[in-house]
Amino acid sequence: MIVVRIFTALLVLLAASPAMSQDRRVPASAAELRLSYAPIVQRVQPAVVNVYAAKMVQEHNPLLDDPIFRRFFGVPGQQPEQMQRSLGSGVMVDPSGLVVTNVHVIEGADEVKVSLSDKREFEAEIVLKDPRSDLAVLRLKGAHEKFPTLDFANSDELQVGDVVLAIGNPFGVGQTVTHGIISALARTQVGITDYQFFIQTDAAINPGNSGGALVDMTGKLAGINTAIFSRSGGSQGIGFAIPANMVRVVVASAKSGGKAVKRPWLGAKLQAVTPEIAESLGLKLPSGALVASVVAASPAARAGLKASDLIVSIDGQAVDDPNAFDYRFATRPLGGTAEIDVLRAGKTAKLSVALETAPDTGRNEIVLTGRSPLQGAKVANISPAVADELHLDSDTEGVVVTDLADGGTAANVGFQKGDIILAVNNQKIGKTADLEKATRESARLWRITLVRGGQQINVTLGG
Give, as one character, the DSSP assignment of residue 457. Answer: E
Output b/e per residue, 206-245; b: 16+ Cβ within 10 A.
Answer: bbbbbbbbbbbbbbbbbbbbbbbbbeeeebbebbbbbbbb
What are the beta bridge partners of residue 199?
A: 241
- Backbone φ and ψ for 262, nearest 5 degrees, come out as -100, 125
**Nearest Cα to 10, choosing from 214, 146, 193, 151?**
214
3-state helix, strand, coil in the chain (%, to 5): 20, 35, 45
Name the catalytic one among 210, 230, 235, 298: 210
Name the catalytic one among 86, 89, 104, 230: 104
Amino acid at 166: A
Beta carbons within 10 angstroms of residue 30's beta carbon: 7
DSSP string, 119-153: S-EEEEEEEEEETTTTEEEEEETT--SPPP--PBP
Let me know if 86 is a catalytic residue: no
380 Cβ contact partners less than 8 Å away, ≥ 6 residues apart? 363, 364, 365, 366, 386, 399, 400, 402, 432
Name the catalytic one among 86, 89, 133, 134: 134
Report the alpha-carbon distance of residue 340 to residue 200 in Å, rounded: 27
Q: Are 218 and 164 in contact (CB under 8 A)?
A: no
Report the alpha-carbon distance of residue 53 to residue 93 in Å, rounded: 19
Let me know if 202 is a catalytic residue: no
260 Cβ contact partners less than 8 Å away, ≥ 6 residues apart? 128, 130, 253
**Nearest Cα to 137, choosing from 114, 120, 168, 118?**
114
Give CA angle at 310 (309, 315), nearest 5°: 110
- Backbone φ and ψ for 330, nearest 5 degrees, come out as -70, -25
What are the beta bridge partners of residue 55?
A: 84
Report the alpha-carbon distance of residue 13 to residue 166 in Å, rounded: 6
Let me know if 293 is a catalytic residue: no
Beta carbons within 10 angstroms of residue 396's beta carbon: 13
238 Cβ contact partners less than 8 Å away, ≥ 6 residues apart? 183, 200, 202, 228, 229, 230
The residues annotated with a catalytic role in the active site are 104, 134, 210
